[in-house]
């Protein structure tokens, strides 16, 4: 049986010429059960905008390169589109620029939205803009068409994303604001089984994080004394190699294994809105905070789906793994992080798809580098669609000791609403968390967060959000609440 990745929408770019301007139509052709969408863009001269004081020269350079590639790429260098789909009002076929968007699917059913294949799928998934900005979308559309043509010839898919986040706290004794940027370059190279469900892929990603201004957003946790970081990531650690691992799917996608350098938290223990790049900011919701996942390092895992609605994924990683180091020299220490996720994925009539799973994990003690004790625990996670526009999630996490993360128990629940205030790709989220720290003298922390994300253009998203943090565990007792305001801008292509 073929996987979902073989059921895909298709982008078709159609170029026409007029007396005053050139026009380009973007047609999304989908399976009959998915509504069709058509977006028309008119290209013309635009006035360039510059922003001073931001450390984004590489992003601007990539955008300029994409525009140059879009202009330089001839239409006949791209794969032909369906003539029926590219016919004009007169019925005559027009010169197309076309590419197909084909989701990779998951080697592990519980794969997080932050894994590199999932990020690439999200970048290439067709989206409907709230506003039409041809000067931005036109070059990027052509760049994606060109890179997709390259992928069709070679099997290599490449994606870029640049995200900035600004956060302002309402209180605290010291710094109350932080501004950070994050550049991601991601790639997936399908070397085996292209066009089938049994693919072999090499996954690769690098990242560069930096502060914009005097302080990154990550410093606010220490300043206001919260148990959970108010943002996951967005520090100033600089350039790192994140992923370099092999994924192989077999038996029509029912079995898969992965091996190499990666972050095990990308493959288990996540809910569907667990992405700092486009959803909640507080780490209570953008990570599984009771689990001491060691970071990017050597790991191996297998995933099996014996029947349609049930799956299991197990894996092991170097307990000394860290995104900023080469952890291979610590393998001889014999300290490991291991996990297993076992789930049920029904499709309920009248509601939609769901995912219900249990996670077990264990980490050995570490005596070198950053000494830490052993620990183990469990998580129970629920995701469920409620029709086309609503989804809900809930998660309970427990750590036997909690001495690695500082958190013994945490429960989170939330919901998302698709399509408010314009584009159907807009998302609104609301969530609540209650967390018990390992330190019995510290207060239990409560968090409420809401956000709204606009799909401004087809490749640009803008989000605003607010967090209310009550009884922050590591703050002075007289500081019983603090608010944090967030804005986020992301461009991906």
**Res. 472: pLDDT tops 50:** yes
194, 321: one domain: yes
* Nearest partner of 86 among 126, 31, 38, 134, judged by Cα: 38
- Residue 199: pLDDT band (50, 70, 90) is very high
Are residues 131 and 83 located together in one domain of the fold? no
11-15, 135-139, 295-299, 393-397: least confidently modelled range: 11-15
Burial of 2 (0-12, 13-18, 19+ CB in 10 A): exposed
Is the confidence at residue 368, as pLDDT, over 90? no
Q: What is the pLDDT of residue 294?
A: 92
Residue 272 corresponds to which tokens in the numbers above?
Answer: 């569907």
Inside any domain, residue 87: yes
- C-alpha 78/C-alpha 151 separation (Å) is 11
Nearest to residue 343, comparing CAs of 115, 21, 106? 106
Residues 193 and 333 in one domain: yes
Inform me whether the pLDDT recorded for 25 exceeds 70: no
Q: pTM for the complete prediction?
A: 0.79
Look at residue 455 and tell me if it is in a domain.
yes
* pLDDT, mean of residues 126-148: 89
Residues 178 and 70 in one domain: no
Of 18-32, 109-123, 188-202, 391-405, give the lowest mean pLDDT range.
18-32
Whether 24 and 120 share a structural domain: no
**pLDDT value at residue 171:** 78
Q: Is the pLDDT of residue 142 over 70?
A: yes
Residue-number span of the structural domain to which 375 is assigned: 116-492
The predicted structure's pLDDT at residue 253: 87
In angstroms, rounded to a whole number, what is the distance separating the alpha carbons of residues 342 and 335?
A: 24
Is 106 within a domain? no
Provide the token pair at 462: 């803008």
Q: Put residue 35 in one of left, alpha, beta given phi > 0 → left and psi -120 to 50 → alpha.
A: beta
Q: What's the chain's average pLDDT?
A: 81
Same domain? 217 vs 264: yes
The C-alpha R_g of the chain, in whole angstroms, comes to 23
The secondary structure of 328-374 as a DSSP string is GGGGGG--EEEEEEEEE--EETTTEEEEEEEEEEEE--B-SSS-B--
461 occurs within a structural domain: yes
Residue 63 sits in the same domain as residue 155 = no
* Same structural domain, 270 and 394: yes
Is residue 483 a part of any domain in this protein? yes
Q: Which residues have CB under 8 Å from 121's CB, separation 6+?
A: 103, 104
Give the CATH number of the domain where residue 197 resides.
2.40.160.180
- Split into its structural domains, the chain has a count of 2
Considering the domain architecture, whether residues 130 and 75 belong to the same structural domain is answered as: no
Q: What stretch of H or E contains 202?
A: strand 200-211
In terms of domains, do 67 and 155 share one?
A: no
Kindly state the average pLDDT of the residues 263-281: 94
68 part of a folded domain: yes
In a domain, 111, yes or no: no
Length of the chain: 493
Q: Give me the pLDDT at residue 437, please.
A: 96
Lowest-confidence segment of 24-33, 95-104, 189-198 by average pLDDT: 24-33
pLDDT at residue 173, rounded to an integer: 74
The answer to whether position 10 is within a domain reads: yes
Same domain flag for 230 and 188: yes
Torsion of CA 209, 213, 217, 222, to 10 degrees: 120
So what's the pLDDT on residue 77? 36
Is it the case that residue 35 has pLDDT exceeding 90?
A: no
Residue-wise pLDDT tens digits, 302-347: 999 999 899 999 999 999 999 988 889 899 889 999 999 999 999 9
Banded model confidence at residue 49, pLDDT cuts 50, 70, 90: very low
Q: Which residue has the tokens 């605003």?
A: 464
Residues 192 and 224: beta-carbon distance below 8 Å? no
Q: Are residues 150 and 17 part of one domain?
A: no
* Per-residue confidence (pLDDT) for residue 107, from 0 to 100: 65
Q: Which of 7-16, 32-41, 214-223 has the lowest mean pLDDT?
A: 32-41
């Amino acid at each position: 049986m073929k996987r979902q990745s073989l059921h895909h929408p298709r982008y078709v770019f159609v170029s026409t010429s007029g007396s005053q301007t050139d026009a380009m139509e973007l047609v999304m052709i989908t399976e009959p059960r998915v509504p069709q969408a058509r977006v028309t863009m008119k290209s013309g001269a635009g006035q360039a905008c510059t922003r001073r004081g931001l450390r984004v020269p590489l992003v601007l350079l990539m955008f300029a390169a994409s525009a140059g590639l879009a202009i330089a790429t001839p239409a006949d260098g791209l794969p032909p589109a369906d003539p029926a789909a590219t016919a004009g009002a007169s019925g005559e076929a027009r010169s197309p620029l076309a590419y197909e968007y084909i989701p990779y699917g998951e080697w592990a059913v519980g794969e997080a939205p932050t894994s590199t294949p999932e990020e690439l799928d999200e970048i290439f998934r067709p989206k409907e803009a709230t506003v039409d900005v041809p000067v931005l979308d036109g070059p990027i559309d052509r760049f994606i068409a060109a890179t997709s043509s390259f992928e069709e010839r070679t099997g290599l898919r490449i994606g870029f994303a640049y995200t900035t986040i600004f956060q302002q706290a309402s209180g605290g004794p010291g710094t109350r604001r932080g501004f950070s940027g994050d550049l991601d370059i991601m790639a997936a190279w399908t070397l085996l089984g292209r066009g089938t469900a049994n693919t072999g892929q090499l996954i690769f990603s690098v990242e560069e994080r930096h502060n914009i201004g005097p302080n990154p957003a990550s410093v606010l946790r220490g300043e206001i004394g919260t148990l959970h970081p108010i943002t996951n990531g967005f520090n100033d650690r600089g350039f790192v190699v994140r992923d370099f691992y092999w994924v192989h799917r077999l038996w029509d996608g029912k079995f898969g294994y992965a091996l190499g350098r990666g972050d095990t938290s990308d493959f288990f223990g996540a809910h569907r809105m667990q992405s700092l790049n486009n959803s909640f900011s507080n780490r209570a919701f953008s990570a599984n905070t009771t689990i001491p996942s060691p970071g990017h390092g050597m790991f191996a895992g297998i995933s099996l789906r014996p029947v349609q609605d049930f799956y299991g994924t197990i894996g092991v990683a170097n307990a000394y793994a860290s995104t900023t180091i080469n952890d291979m020299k610590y393998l001889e220490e014999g300290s490991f992080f291991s996990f297993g996720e076992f789930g049920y994925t029904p499709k309920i009539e009248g509601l939609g798809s769901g995912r219900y799973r249990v996670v077990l994990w264990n980490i050995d003690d570490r005596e070198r580098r950053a000494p830490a004790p052993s620990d183990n625990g469990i998580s129970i996670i629920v995701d469920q669609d409620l029709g086309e526009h609503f989804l809900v999630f809930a998660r309970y996490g427990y750590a036997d000791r909690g001495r690695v993360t500082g958190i013994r128990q945490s429960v989170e629940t939330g919901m998302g609403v698709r399509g408010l205030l314009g584009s159907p790709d807009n998302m609104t989220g609301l969530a609540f968390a209650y967390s018990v720290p390992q330190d019995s003298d510290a207060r239990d922390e409560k968090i409420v967060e809401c956000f709204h994300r606009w799909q401004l253009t087809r490749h640009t998203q803008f989000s605003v959000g607010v967090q209310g943090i009550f009884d922050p565990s590591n703050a002075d007792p007289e500081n019983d609440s603090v608010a944090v305001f967030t804005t986020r801008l992301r461009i991906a292509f």
